[in-house]
């Protein structure tokens, strides 16, 4: 693909994304959720794809963000938009801090042990939030109402989530182009070698997790406000849905690639919505079959499979050059 | 010549197995030192002890006069002592040039220092060293797609890229095509002379080590059997016994 084609395609995508809620206002909330899925897949891929650490606990940062933002909005008495902005900022920062603290212990685990260890995180957090009165315990939290009622609300959250997805994408793209991106790949390919070469692997892993956590935290704050209700187990720390989907979307699109998670998120979300619409009652079965099909037929994901077939599209070189 | 690495009375046991028994060796700045011994004589264990891959039971290991026996691998690597692996280790999914880039000394300053981009100086140096080991034409290929021998050369180039003071090589010629071995010996000597890298080399190939090293230490059953110049070691009857199993 030439760069003209590439930017043309990106420009087209941008126009469609900006126009979508006006063209199909009845789907505005679903489209907002689509961008949330993109953020999920992109942030999961930082560790899961680029660094080779399969985390099943990233939902933790999303939930922490949702609660942190709602608490700020509830307790600090700001005007709605000021409260939301401050809340989102604190949600991101606080999630990142939790990632750094947890990282010290968790990121010493490798391979399957890390995956299993993180699996417990989301579940534990859901149980804690569900029993803690300060955050509404089992009956959840209701963030403040959008000031103008329903008017303009969907558009506001659509564009806020879209902006978050674009910023996440741009930030990760920039990050992967630095030496840091190579260090992540080095840890993925051979962590012992990276250590033997003197890389600060523990620091690198913690920073990477914190980067994912920032965007997940902000996404959590936005989602709480979008949905208007934060349930501890079904929304904030929804490991069985959001938590699994973020892994699936990244794997479906092609983990360890920049665009793979984006493509995976779009394909997954659209397919899932179609299942819910046309296969109601069987939607979970269909989703399960889709997951099996992904793993069996596209273990490297959509982009990974394309990359195997057409490596030259991805700038990979097969021939020697002098 | 000053002593760069001083290993004194190092003992390392795994359960009941004594892998190293009071081993002492020293490596002087600027030399090429050799470490030989039959299979299972404790050479790689000694390497692992020196670079901090595991704790030692007894003894002291000093690098540039500083006690390092309690430090871990990355800390020791940042002090300028690197090792290559017997089972070659490179970053397989990255290109040869990317392998070089991430091995540059600035990559190990701190995690945040990695947030910068690549300097053209790093790339130039990486390409020079790939040229030096004969892999320049393969710089954009995926490292995992290179042959075993080429990966070994890449690993050597990566080690040089990070500008170590002392480089520990674990069987650099194992698995390399015999016609390429001479070229590799020349490059090791060149790296030592021109880049000023002190080398400590484990080697099974007697012809290679006798050609390469200025001083050789021979281990057997975890203990130092003999040390001296290549000729002294080669003619030491105990070394001959250890290798041929006589006596």
* pLDDT tens track for A37-85: 999 999 999 999 999 999 999 999 999 999 999 999 988 888 889 999 9
Q: Is the residue at A298 inside a domain?
A: no
- Which mean pLDDT values do the consecutive 10-residue runs of chain B (247 residues) have? 88 90 92 90 91 91 92 92 88 93 87 80 91 90 90 92 92 83 88 92 87 91 89 87 68
Angle value at C-alpha A100, between B109 and A33, nearest 5 degrees: 120
Three-state DSSP class for B7?
strand
Task: Give the model's pLDDT for residue B1.
Answer: 62
Distance CA A143, CA A135 (A): 11
Report the alpha-carbon distance of residue A92 to residue A211 in Å, rounded: 9
Could you tell me if B243 and B207 lie in one domain? Answer: yes
CA A67 and chain centroid, separation: 17
Cα A287 to Cα A303: distance, rounded to the nearest angstrom? 21
Q: Indicate whether B189 and B123 sit together in one domain.
A: no
Looking at residue B245, its pLDDT comes to: 65
> Is A72 touching B (CB cutoff 8 A)?
no
Among A262, A257, A266, smallest CA distance to A300 is for: A257
Q: Are residues B174 and B244 in the same domain?
A: yes
Tell me the backbone φ, ψ of residue A232, rounded to 5 degrees.
Answer: -60, -40
Cβ-defined contact of A197 to B93 (cutoff 8 Å):
no
| Same domain membership, residue B186 and residue B153 | no
- Give the domain-ending residue among B163, B187, B209: B163
Angle of helix A59-75 versus helix A80-106 axis, rounded to 10:
140
Nearest to A107 by CA among A15, A203, A195, A245: A203
Strand partners for B25: B7
In this complex, the residue of B94, B111, B140 whose CB is nearest that of residue A317 is B140
* DSSP state string for A96-152: HHHHHHHHHHHTTS-HHHHHHHHHHHHHHHHHHHHT-GGGTGGG-B-PPPPTTTTTT
Cβ distance of B74 and A196 shorter than 8 Å: yes
∠ CA(A117), CA(A95), CA(A268), 5° rounding?
70
Please, are residues B85 and B68 in contact by the beta-carbon 8 Å criterion? no
Residue A207 lies in a domain: yes
The DSSP letter of residue A234 is I
CA-CA distances (angstroms) from residue A320 to B100, B141, B157?
17, 7, 18
Assess if residue A62 is contained within a domain.
Answer: yes
Q: Say how many C-beta atoms besides its own lie within 10 A of residue A295's C-beta.
A: 12
Residue A103: give the domain boundaries: 37-242
Bridge partners, B63 (sequence order) = B5, B66
Is A153 within the bounds of a domain?
yes
| Domain contains A5 | no
Burial of A299 (0-12, 13-18, 19+ CB in 10 A): exposed
Residue closest to A284 by CA, chosen among A300, A268, A267, A272: A272
Q: Give how far B124 is from chain A: nearest CA, Å.
A: 14
Residue B33 CB coordination number (10 Å): 23
A297's tokens: 């037929």
- Is B189 found in the same domain as B121? no
Helix (H) or strand (E) holding B22: strand B17-28
Clarify whether residues B75 and B99 are in a common domain. no
| Rounded-to-integer distance, Cα B152 and Cα B133, Å | 10
**Are both B179 and B233 inside the same structural domain?**
yes
Number of domains in chain A: 1
Q: Which of B19, B4, B15, B32 is nearest to B59 (CA)?
A: B19
Token pair belonging to A264:
């995976």
Q: B245 with B169, same domain?
A: yes
pLDDT for B247 equals: 46
Q: How do strand B58-63 and strand B3-14 relate by DSSP bridges?
A: antiparallel
What's the Rg (C-alpha) of chain B? 18
Looking at the structure, do residues B73 and B170 belong to the same domain, yes or no? yes
Within 8 A of A180 by CB-CB distance, chain B residues are 111, 114-115
Q: Rounded mean pLDDT of chain A?
A: 89
> CA A304, A309, A311: angle at the middle one, nearest 5?
75
State the smallest CA–CA distance between residue A179 and chain B in angstroms.
5
- Identify any residues that bridge with B18 across adjacent strands, giving them in sequence order: B13
- Give the other-Cβ count within 10 Å of A105's Cβ: 9
For CA atoms B47, B50, B56, B61, give the dihedral sign.
positive
Q: What is the CATH number of the domain that holds B70?
A: 3.40.50.300
Same domain? For B1 and B74 the reply is yes
Interface test with B, best of A173, A199, A206, A317 (most B CBs within 10 A): A199
Residue A242, class by beta-carbon neighbours within 10 Å (0-12 exposed, 13-18 middle, 19+ buried)? buried
Low-confidence ranges of chain A (pLDDT < 70): 1, 315-322
- Contact residues for B192 (Cβ-Cβ < 8 A; gap 6+): B30, B31, B32, B198, B199
Helix-strand-coil split of chain B, %, nearest 5? 40, 25, 35
Q: For residues A138 and A129, give the distance between their C-alpha atoms in angstroms, rounded to a whole number.
A: 7
pLDDT for position A42? 96
- Supply the range of the domain harboring residue B98: 90-163
Query: Bridge partners of B62?
Result: B6, B67
Answer yes or no: is A249 within a domain: no
E runs forming strands in A21-158: none
Our CA-based measurement puts residue A174 at a distance from the nearest CA of chain B, in whole angstroms, of: 9
Asked whether residue B198 falls in the same domain as residue B246, the answer is yes
Query: Are A64 and A94 in contact, with CB atoms under 8 Å apart?
Result: yes
- Residue B23 sits at φ, ψ, to 5 deg, of -90, 135
Is residue A245 within 8 Å of A156, Cβ to Cβ?
no
- Write the ipTM: 0.87
Are residues B68 and B187 located together in one domain of the fold?
yes
* Residues in A touching B141 (Cβ below 8 Å): 317-318, 320
Q: Is B18 within a domain?
A: yes
Sequence-ordered list of residues with C-beta below 8 angstroms from that of A290, at least 6 positions apart, any chain: A271, A275
How large is the C-alpha radius of gyration of chain A?
20
Angle at B88 between CA B84 and CA B92, to 5 degrees: 115
Contact B89 A190 (CB under 8 A): yes
B126 contacts in chain A (CB < 8 Å): none
Among partner residues B77, B102, B110, which is closest to A203 by beta-carbon distance? B110
For residue A309, the number of C-alpha atoms closer than 13 Å in the C-beta half-sphere is 8
In a domain, A264, yes or no: no
Whole-angstrom distance, CA of residue B28 vs CA of residue A144: 71
Query: Residue B10: beta bridge partners?
Result: B23
Instruction: Enter the tokens of residue B82.
Output: 């690197």
Rounded CA separation A253/A255 (Å): 7
Domain annotation covers residue B85 = no
Cα gap A7→B97, rounded to integer Å: 27
Q: How many domains does chain B have?
A: 2
């Amino acid at each position: 693909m030439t760069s003209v084609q590439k930017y043309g395609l990106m420009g087209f995508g941008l126009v469609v994304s900006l126009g979508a809620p006006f063209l199909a206002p009845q789907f505005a909330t679903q489209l907002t959720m689509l961008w949330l899925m993109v953020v999920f897949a992109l942030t999961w891929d930082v560790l899961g794809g680029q660094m080779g650490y399969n985390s099943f606990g990233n939902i933790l940062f999303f939930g922490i963000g949702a609660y942190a933002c709602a608490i700020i909005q509830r307790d600090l008495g700001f005007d709605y938009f000021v409260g939301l902005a401050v809340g989102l900022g604190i949600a991101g920062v606080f999630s990142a801090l939790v990632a750094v603290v947890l990282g010290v212990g968790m990121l010493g685990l490798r391979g399957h042990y890390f995956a299993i260890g993180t699996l417990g995180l989301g579940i534990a957090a859901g149980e804690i939030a569900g029993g803690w009165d300060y955050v509404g315990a089992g009956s959840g939290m209701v963030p403040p109402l959008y000031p103008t009622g329903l008017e303009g609300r969907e558009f506001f959250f659509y564009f806020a989530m879209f902006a978050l997805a674009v910023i996440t994408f741009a930030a990760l793209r920039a990050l992967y182009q630095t030496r840091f991106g190579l260090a992540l790949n080095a840890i993925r390919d051979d962590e012992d070698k990276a250590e033997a070469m003197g890389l600060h692997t523990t620091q690198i892993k913690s920073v990477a997790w914190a980067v994912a956590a920032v965007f997940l935290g902000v996404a959590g704050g936005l989602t709480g406000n979008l949905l208007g209700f934060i349930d501890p187990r079904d929304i904030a720390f929804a490991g069985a849905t959001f938590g699994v989907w973020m892994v699936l979307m990244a794997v479906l699109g092609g983990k360890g690639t920049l665009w793979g998670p984006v493509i995976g998120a779009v394909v997954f979300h659209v397919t899932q919505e179609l299942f819910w619409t046309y296969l109601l009652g069987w939607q979970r079965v269909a989703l399960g079959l889709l997951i099996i099909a992904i793993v069996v037929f596209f273990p490297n994901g959509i982009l990974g499979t394309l990359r195997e077939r057409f490596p030259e599209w991805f700038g990979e070189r097969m021939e020697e050059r002098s | 010549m000053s002593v760069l690495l001083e290993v004194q009375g190092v003992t390392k046991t795994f359960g009941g197995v004594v892998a190293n028994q009071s081993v002492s060796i020293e490596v002087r700045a600027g030399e090429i030192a050799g470490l030989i011994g039959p299979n299972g004589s404790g050479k790689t264990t000694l390497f692992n002890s020196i670079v901090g891959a595991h704790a030692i039971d007894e003894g002291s290991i000093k690098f540039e006069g500083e006690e390092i026996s309690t430090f871990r691998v990355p800390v020791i690597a940042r002090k300028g002592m690197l090792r290559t692996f017997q089972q070659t280790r490179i970053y397989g999914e990255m290109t040869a040039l990317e392998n070089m880039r991430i091995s540059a000394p600035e990559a190990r300053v701190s995690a945040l220092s990695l947030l910068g981009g690549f300097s053209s100086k790093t790339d130039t140096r990486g390409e020079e060293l790939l040229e030096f080991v004969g892999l320049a034409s393969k710089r954009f290929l995926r490292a995992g797609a290179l042959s075993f021998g080429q990966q070994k050369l890449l690993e050597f180039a990566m080690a040089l890229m990070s500008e170590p003071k002392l480089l520990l090589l674990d069987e650099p010629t194992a698995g390399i095509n015999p016609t390429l071995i001479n070229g590799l010996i020349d490059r090791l000597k060149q790296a030592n002379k021109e880049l000023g890298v002190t080398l400590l080399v484990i080697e099974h190939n007697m012809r290679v080590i006798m050609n390469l090293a200025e001083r050789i230490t021979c281990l057997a059953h975890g203990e130092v059997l003999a040390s001296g110049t290549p000729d002294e070691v080669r003619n030491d009857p105990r070394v001959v016994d250890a290798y041929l199993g006589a006596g």
